A and B are shown apart, each in its own frame.
Chain A
Amino acid sequence: MNKKWVAYPYLVWMIIFIVIPSFLILFYAFTVRDEQGIRFTLDNFYKFCEPIYLSVLLKSLGLALFSTFVCLILGYPVAMILASKHFSKSATLSILFIIPMWMNFLLRTYSWLTLLEKNGIINSILSFFHLPKIDILYTDTAVVLGMVYNFLPFMILPIYTVLMKIDSKLVEAAQDLGGNSFTVFRRITLPLSIPGVMSGITMVFMPAVTTFVISKLLGGGQYTLIGNFIERQFIQLSDWNFGSAISMVMMILILISIGIMSKFDEDKGGGAALW
C-alpha cells in the first residue's frame, strides 16, 4: 500500500505538538537570561561537561541499559509462551500483564516499599520461616527491580504481537528439516521477531533513562539519575536553560544509539522477508 498521505494528519500533529515545543527547548538550551536580557550562549552545555554531571549521565545510561536487558530476558519468554499454540486465551492473558500498570504509580511503588523494607512483608515472611532477611532497598538492585516492574509489560506486548504472527508452519518446516529447538529459535523465530524486539527496547530504554520517581523512592533521595537532575533544574532551581541543555544532550545521545541499533536491523533485512 503506497499511500503515504495517510500519515499527513500525524505529520501536522507532530509539527504542532512535538516540533514547536522542541524548538522552545532548543531556545532555552542555547540562551541565558541575565541582567542584559536574553542572549545566545553555549554556557549551558559547558556547564554540563563537568565530570560530576557526566558521571550521573553515564550511570543513568548504564542502569537503563541493564534494566532494558533484564526486561528483554524476562519478557521475551513470556511473549513466546503466550504466542505459542499451547495457549488459546492468550489475548486475555496478555491483558492481565498490563492491568497492574493501571493502578497508580505512586501507590504501586509505595507497595514495593512495604514489601521490601527491613520490617516489610517479605522479610516478615522470611523470618517466620527462619530464613535470612533481605536488605535491598536503597541499592541499585531495588532501582532495577522498580524499573523492570514498571516497564516489563511494554517489552512483552510488542514482542507478543509480532510473535503471534510468525507462521507456525515455518517453525514446523524447520523442525522437519532437522533443526533442533535452539536452532529453530535462533534462525527462524528470533530474526522474525526483531521488529517487535526493537519496539520493545525503544519503549523501555528511552523512558528508563529519564525516569526519576523510581530512583527517588527505591534508591533513596540522593540516588541521582539524569532524570532527577533535569527535574531539579526545572522545578527547584527554575533554571530552564540548563535543564533544557541537559535534555538536549541526552536526546542526541539516545537518538544516536537508536540509530546505531537500527543499523543492525537493516542488515538483517528486517521484517517478514527471509528471501
Chain B
Amino acid sequence: MKKHFIKLLASAVILSTTILAGCGASDSAGGNSGEKVTLKVYNWGDYIGEDVIEKFQKKYNIDVVYDTFSDNEVMHTKLSAGGSDYDVAIPSDYMIKRMIDEGMVNKLDFNNIPNYKYIDEKFKNLAFDPNNEYSVPYMWGTVGIIYNKTMVSDPVDSWNILWNEKYKKQVFMLDSQRDSIGITLKKLGYSLNTKNQDELEKAKQELIRQKELGIVQSYVGDEVKDKMIMGEAAFAVVWSGDAVFMKRENPDLEYVIPKEGSNLWVDSMVVLSTTKHQKEAEMFINFMCETDIAFANADYIGYSTPHTEAKKMMSPDLLGDIAAYPSDEQIANCEVFEDLAGSIKDYDRIWTEVSVN
C-alpha cells in the first residue's frame, strides 16, 4: 500500500508539473498573440446565455476571461481590496450606488452603446443611478410571495398573510437583512429605504412577533426554491425570477406582488474603474443589448429582461405571468433599493436582535 502510494504521488507530481508547464506555455502564447485585447467580465454564476461569450469573442476578436461571484457584498469586498482587474461587472442596484459613491465605476460613453435605446424607459434613471451615467440594466424582477394553492385557503394579496397565525411554521422568510426588513416596512406602510428609527423599531417588533407566533419555519437562502417545489411550506418570500422556475416545477404554486408594494430589483452592467479597456468594455455591454443576445440571456436565465425588443420575443404565457412580466400597475408600489450608507448598522442591529429572539 505504501509503495503504491509513493508511486502514485510521484506520478501526480510529474503530472502536475507538466500541466503547470503546459498552462504556463499556453498563457504566454496567448499573451504574445499580439494586440488582442482580453476583456475580464465578472458576473453572477450561470447568469449568461450559453454561447454568448463565444459569439462575442468571434465577432469582435476580443478574448474574454469570465469569472463568477456568489453575491454582491462578497464581490465588493474583493474588488475594494484592490487586487483585481476586472473590466465589466454586473452587480445589483444598491451595490452599484455604493460603487458609484466609492469611485469604483467609470462613466459610460453611450455613443459606444447605441443598443441602449432598446432598454425600456422605466428602467432608466432609477434611484441608484439617477442620471443613468454608469450602468445599463441587464435583468430585473420583483420580490413577492409564492404560495402553494393546496395549502392556503385565504386570498393572498397582502404581506399580512405572512403574519397570519393560521399558518404556523408554514412561512419561509428570506435570509437577507434588506429584503426581510424591507417587506416588513412595506407591510407597515413605510418605505423600504427608510432610515427613520421609529419605523425601523416597529419593523423589528413585527419580525420578532412573527417569530414568537411560530409562523416562520425558517429564514432561508437559495435553497427555498426546492423547498417550495417539494411543498415544505405554504408561503415563501422569493425573487420573481425564481418564482417562474418554481411554478414550472410545481403547478400548485402561485406568485403574487402584495398590494402594499414590494422591492423592484435590477442587475445592471457597469464598467469598473480598474479597467484598461474602456472602449472594449462598452462594446461588450452594447453586444449584450443586441436583441437576439438579450433574448438568449433572458431565455437561458429565466429572469425578466428590460430589453423591449427581446421582451416581444417571449412567449405569451410568460408575458402574461405576473412573476415574469408584471404590468405597470402591479409594480406601482415597488421601490428600488437605495444604498443605506451608515444606516446599514441599524439594520444589522435589528437583524441581530431578531435572530436571538
Contacts and interface: CB of A to CB of B under 8 A. Distances in A.
B219 A221 contact: yes
A117 B230 contact: yes
B232 A138 contact: no
B327 interface: no
Interface string A96-114: 0000000000000010011
B356 A56 contact: yes
Given A119-B232, A220-B217, A236-B344, 9 more contacts: A55-B356, A117-B232, A137-B218, A220-B175, A222-B175, A222-B355, A232-B348, A236-B73, A238-B80
Interface in B28-79: 73-74, 76-77
B227 A117 contact: yes
Contact of B1 (A92, A117, A138, A224): A92
A205 B227 CA distance: 31
A73 B351 CA distance: 36
Interface string B162-185: 000000000001110100000000
B207 to A, nearest CB: 10
A133 interface: no
Interface of A: 52, 55-56, 91-92, 110, 113-114, 117-120, 137-138, 216-217, 220-224, 229, 232, 234-239
Question: B175, B231, B353 — which one has the most chain A CB atoms within 10 A of its CB?
Answer: B175
B221 interface: yes
Interface residues of B, number: 30
Contacts of A138: 217-218
Nearest to A113: B223
10 contacts: A52-B352, A113-B223, A216-B221, A220-B218, A220-B219, A220-B220, A229-B352, A235-B73, A236-B348, A237-B345
Contacts of B223: 110, 113, 217
B354 interface: yes
A138 B353 CA distance: 18
Contacts of A92: 1
B77 A234 contact: yes
B218 A119 contact: no
A52 B174 CA distance: 22
Contacts of B227: 113, 117
Contacts of A239: 345
Given A113-B223, A221-B218, A236-B348, A216 B353 contact: no
Interface string B218-243: 11110100110011100000000000
B15 to A, nearest CB: 18
Contacts of A110: 223
